[in-house]
Amino acid sequence: MNAAVARVAPSVALLAVSAVLTAVLWSAVAGVVPAAEADPAVYRKTVQPLLARYCFDCHGPDQQEASLAIDKLNADVAGGGAATVWSKIADKLSLRQMPPVDADQPSDAERQAIVDWVKSEMARGGLHYDDKLPMAAYGNYVPHEQLFGRAPAGPSWSPPRYWRIRPAAYDQLIRNLRQRVTVTNPFPLAGEGGFADYATAYKIDGPGVEVLLRNANVVAESMVKDSAETGRSIPGMREVLLPLCTAGPEQPTDQQLRAAIGWLYGSILARDPTADELREREAFYRAGATKLGPAAATRNLVASVCLTPEVLFRYEFGGGSPDEHGRVRLTPREIAFAVAFAFSDLPPDAALRDAAANGTLQTSAGVEREVRRILDDASIAKPRILNFFREYFGYADAELVFKDRELNTNHHPRALVNDTDRLVQLVLSEDKNVLEELLTTNRSFLPRDYKNELHYSYSVPPDWKRTDDPVTMPGDQRAGILTQPSWLVAWSGNFDNDIVRRGKWVRYKLLGGTIPDLPIAVNAQVPDEPHNTLRERMRVTQEAYCWQCHRHMNPLGVVFEDFDHFGRFRVRESVQDPEKTAKNFDAKGRSLGPVMRQVPVDASAVIEGSGDPAVDGPVTGAVDMVRRLAKSERVRQVFVRHAFRYWMGRNETPVDAATLQAADAAYVRSGGSMRALIASLLSSDSFLYRKHTEQTARAENSQFENVASHPTKKEQSP
């Protein structure tokens, strides 16, 4: 049931689906990949030969690995009852999990041909195939070599897109209009397995619309009330709204009404309305005023501007005529918003708006100048930069990991997160070898607010003196963020370390590797064996079937056994002593509880398959491993890939090679400056240019194509 196949209809959550509505949704699907007759010829001519060549050896007439015989699958993808299997096949191909590495590999175009066919066949039957590659958790599936291993094949660009604004930007928008109203934020931010704010990740559906509508009404109500009664106003509001909500026979005049609409557009969208928009909203107000009275009409007018798509989605479509590569440049207004939102949740400041107006943003150098201005101006808050590191390392989740208080009353996760925030900010302020420093520094901030308790988390002596300066920790115990208690807690369980998730983190975030999704049928649990260490209990993952994935995670995670699950350094850990526990009874024969014994910690591991030969080999523990990783070129480039994802709001593709290589070079050239890296990304072609992908172009043209290629002929499915 976690499969990629999902009927589209349920996106109207909460609501009964009427026949009319279903029709709307189905045409929506058709809009993406338009409906067409099945074309068995495509399967016979294009798809079947590829499957025969690359897949049938193991999943064909002679052999049926995993009980799968692709030659026998009904090629009527949507209607033949095998849609789930076909979408699995498409996943395996696009994620390069099949064919196995030692078999003949199809070319990229051949893989795509099969995937495209599955997708369009499913769409034809009203089913939706979710492409995995654009999802945040699958960013690493583009092979590293295609991005960094060769000279870029051409210039970079992004697809045109809507990008739903972030929850914080929505809050900011409401706050700018109304200081005192409180509204519910309608937007979830999930970010499972990657960065939270991806352009492709979020739609606004039924429940979201409900909340938005409620909020818009609350805001509108308050603006009308304050204009008409209390007079509490933001600049300009009362003057323009009052004539609307207390209309008499003479007013509002057309001029007053247009002034009000203009003011609303300026305050909410930071632009003037177009002539069409003016006309539509004038008519909306006039009709409402006649029917429902002026106050209700004004409320609706205000709400309608709050709800217009451009408020809730950032538009990144570009404008003007295409260049020689078929790309269009974002408009100066779009660039100003994109740059502003790269740093915070506020709309562009005055200087950025000026730059948009005076043509500065029309060149990449001009954009870089503006980006540099913001980066170098300490008085401009740039919370999105710290947030990148919070999301990349995930240490802020320490606050979300539930720990039973009786296990450690000195655990204050918020303070731990705060310490790491300060460490990141310190390294950013130095702006030198930022990644290496973050991975290896043995400096640490210690909590200011919790008396002396927290020295436990950092294993410093009980008599440490409180200081606002960073403290130098023993270099054999701590090296960088991955040894900070915040990170260790964030990647721990409720009662134990989490070797698997930590190892997966290192594999994914530092080495750029991939791990297949957890098979649905697996429900293995680490055994409850209080007499064994976690490392010993993890032996269940060494069964051959499990180990093919766990070998890529466990060695990278087990090194953190140097710490307990509160992030305290340790050289010994305690396990139950079964013999003494068995004898631990009082005179009446009641158990007096478990007896523990101390055993030495074993945090050693052997790294393999990292993608960088200098990284592979045995390590003694966490500090040893992260110091080695910090020197790796591959780790640096993977970090650049992640920065790209965060600031572009999407996964990188081979088209982005030029942008990525330039960003990496800028970082190296500047001696590891984060500012240089960000400036390079935000003035890159991937950031500034838009081009229709083949798929979107096909979607727009295909109705025409379909008519041309196979008009009404209907054939039997093969």
Partner 1 sequence: MNMHRRQVLKGVTLGAGAGLLAPLLSRIEAEAAGRDARPMRFVFVLEGNGLMPGHVVPSGIDLVGVDKRDKFEEHALGGRTFSRSLEPVAEFQDKMTIIQGLSGRVCGKGHSMNLGALGAYNSRGGVTIGTGSAFAETIDAALAKQLGGVLPVVGLGLTDNTQHTVIYNCSAWGPGQKLPTICSPELAYNSIFGSVAGGDGERNFQANQDLLDFMAADIRRTRQSLGATDREKLDSYLAGYESLRDRQKRVVEVRDSLDRAKPVPDDKYRSPVETDRLDAQFDLAAAALIGGATNVVTLASGVGDHFFSIRFTGLGIRRDKHGIGHGSGEGEFTSEDLYHKIRNYHFKLIAQLMKRLQAVPEGNGTMLDNTLIVYTSDSAESHHGGGTEWPFVLFGDLGGRLKTGRYISYPGYTKPGHRTFNGLYTSLLHAAGKPAKTFGDPDPMLRDFDQNGPLPELFA
332 vs 394, which CB is nearer to partner 1? Answer: 394
20 vs 544, which CB is nearer to partner 1? Answer: 20
Structure tokens at 373: 């201005």
Stretch that binds partner 1, among 42-50, 279-287, 330-338, 370-378 (CB under 8 A): 279-287
176-205 residues in contact with partner 1 (CB under 8 A) are 184, 188, 192, 203-205
8 vs 426, which CB is nearer to partner 1? Answer: 8
- Closest by CA position to 512, among listed 623, 397, 660: 660
Stretch that binds partner 1, among 25-33, 60-68, 467-475, 677-685 (CB under 8 A): 25-33
Q: Is 548 helix (H, G, I), strand (E, B) or coil?
A: helix
Question: Who contacts 614 (Cβ-Cβ below 8 Å, separation ≥6)?
Answer: 628, 631, 632
Q: Which of 208, 262, 347, 578 binds partner 1 (CB under 8 A)?
A: 208
Reported as type and span, the H/E element at residue 209 is helix 206-225
- Closest by CA position to 607, among listed 594, 596, 618: 618
Provide the 8-state DSSP code for 205: -
How many beta carbons lie within 10 A of that of residue 422, not counting itself? Answer: 17
Question: Who contacts 458 (Cβ-Cβ below 8 Å, separation ≥6)?
Answer: 444, 446, 471, 473, 478, 485, 567, 568
Stretch that binds partner 1, among 209-217, 245-253, 451-459, 478-486 (CB under 8 A): 209-217
- Closest by CA position to 494, among listed 398, 399, 395, 401: 401
Q: Which of 284, 574, 602, 710 binds partner 1 (CB under 8 A)?
A: 284
CB of 198 to partner 1, least distance (A): 12
Question: Who contacts 595 (Cβ-Cβ below 8 Å, separation ≥6)?
Answer: 576, 577, 580, 581, 584
Here's the x/- map for partner 1, 37-76, by CB under 8 A: it reads as ----------------------------------------
Structure tokens at 241: 């709204």
Reported as type and span, the H/E element at residue 681 is helix 674-682
Query: Is 88 an interacting residue with respect to partner 1 (CB under 8 A)?
Result: no
CB of 147 to partner 1, least distance (A): 24
64 phi/psi in degrees, rounded to 5: -130, 70
From first CA to last CA, the distance across the chain in angstroms is: 28
CB of 405 to partner 1, least distance (A): 9
Whether the bond between 99 and the residue before it is cis, its omega within 30 degrees of 0, is yes
Query: Is 167 an interacting residue with respect to partner 1 (CB under 8 A)?
Result: no
Q: Which of 180, 291, 572, 590 binds partner 1 (CB under 8 A)?
A: 291
Query: Is 134 an interacting residue with respect to partner 1 (CB under 8 A)?
Result: no
603-632 residues in contact with partner 1 (CB under 8 A) are none
60 vs 493, which CB is nearer to partner 1? Answer: 493
Stretch that binds partner 1, among 10-18, 132-140, 336-344, 446-454 (CB under 8 A): 10-18
Question: Who contacts 476 (Cβ-Cβ below 8 Å, separation ≥6)?
Answer: 623
445 vs 563, which CB is nearer to partner 1? Answer: 563
Give the C-alpha separation, 625 to 616, whole Å: 10
Stretch that binds partner 1, among 71-79, 148-156, 290-298, 473-481 (CB under 8 A): 290-298
330 vs 629, which CB is nearer to partner 1? Answer: 330
Provide the 8-state DSSP code for 551: T
Stretch that binds partner 1, among 257-265, 353-361, 650-658, 694-702 (CB under 8 A): 694-702
11 vs 532, which CB is nearer to partner 1? Answer: 11
CB of 246 to partner 1, least distance (A): 17
Q: Which of 97, 308, 532, 576 binds partner 1 (CB under 8 A)?
A: 308
315 vs 450, which CB is nearer to partner 1? Answer: 315
Q: Is 701 helix (H, G, I), strand (E, B) or coil?
A: helix
328-357 residues in contact with partner 1 (CB under 8 A) are none
147-166 residues in contact with partner 1 (CB under 8 A) are 159-162, 164
Q: Is 574 helix (H, G, I), strand (E, B) or coil?
A: strand
Q: Which of 531, 692, 710, 717 binds partner 1 (CB under 8 A)?
A: 692
- Closest by CA position to 529, among listed 519, 539, 521: 539
Give the C-alpha separation, 60 to 51, whole Å: 9
Here's the x/- map for partner 1, 212-231, by CB under 8 A: it reads as -x---x--------------
Beta bridge mates, 471: 444
160 vs 578, which CB is nearer to partner 1? Answer: 160
CB of 216 to partner 1, least distance (A): 8
Task: Say what angle helices 275-292 and 294-307 make with each other, to 10 degrees.
Answer: 140
- Closest by CA position to 500, among listed 459, 531, 542, 458: 542
Query: Is 84 an interacting residue with respect to partner 1 (CB under 8 A)?
Result: no
Beta strands of 501-623 (E only): which ranges?
572-576, 596-600, 605-607, 617-619
Report yes or no: 483 and 441 within 8 Å, Cβ to Cβ.
Answer: no
Query: Is 540 an interacting residue with respect to partner 1 (CB under 8 A)?
Result: no
Q: Is 158 helix (H, G, I), strand (E, B) or coil?
A: strand
Nearest 5°: CA angle at 671, between 670 and 676? 35
Q: Which of 242, 303, 356, 361 binds partner 1 (CB under 8 A)?
A: 303
Q: Which of 60, 125, 152, 207 binds partner 1 (CB under 8 A)?
A: 207
- Closest by CA position to 212, among listed 189, 183, 188, 190: 183
Give the C-alpha separation, 78 to 129, whole Å: 10
Query: Is 319 an interacting residue with respect to partner 1 (CB under 8 A)?
Result: no
CB of 661 to partner 1, least distance (A): 27
Query: Is 406 an interacting residue with respect to partner 1 (CB under 8 A)?
Result: yes
Using CB under 8 A as the binding criterion, the count of chain residues that bind partner 1 stands at 79
413-442 residues in contact with partner 1 (CB under 8 A) are none
Structure tokens at 337: 């918003």
Query: Is 11 an interacting residue with respect to partner 1 (CB under 8 A)?
Result: yes
Give the C-alpha separation, 228 to 233, whole Å: 10
Question: Who contacts 327 (Cβ-Cβ below 8 Å, separation ≥6)?
Answer: 155, 157, 318, 685, 689, 690, 691
CB of 15 to partner 1, least distance (A): 4
Q: Which of 397, 421, 430, 616 binds partner 1 (CB under 8 A)?
A: 397
Report yes or no: 414 and 449 within 8 Å, Cβ to Cβ.
Answer: no
402 vs 587, which CB is nearer to partner 1? Answer: 402
Here's the x/- map for partner 1, 228-267, by CB under 8 A: it reads as ----------------------------------------
Query: Is 111 an interacting residue with respect to partner 1 (CB under 8 A)?
Result: no
Kindly calculate the radius of gyration of the chain based on its CA atoms and give it in whole angstroms. 29
Q: Which of 42, 209, 380, 515 binds partner 1 (CB under 8 A)?
A: 209
Q: Which of 110, 131, 171, 210 binds partner 1 (CB under 8 A)?
A: 210
10 vs 516, which CB is nearer to partner 1? Answer: 10
Q: Which of 62, 150, 290, 317 binds partner 1 (CB under 8 A)?
A: 317
CB of 381 to partner 1, least distance (A): 25
Q: Which of 177, 237, 312, 385 binds partner 1 (CB under 8 A)?
A: 312
Report yes or no: 9 and 25 within 8 Å, Cβ to Cβ.
Answer: yes
Here's the x/- map for partner 1, 491-530, by CB under 8 A: it reads as --xx---x---------------------xxxx-x-----
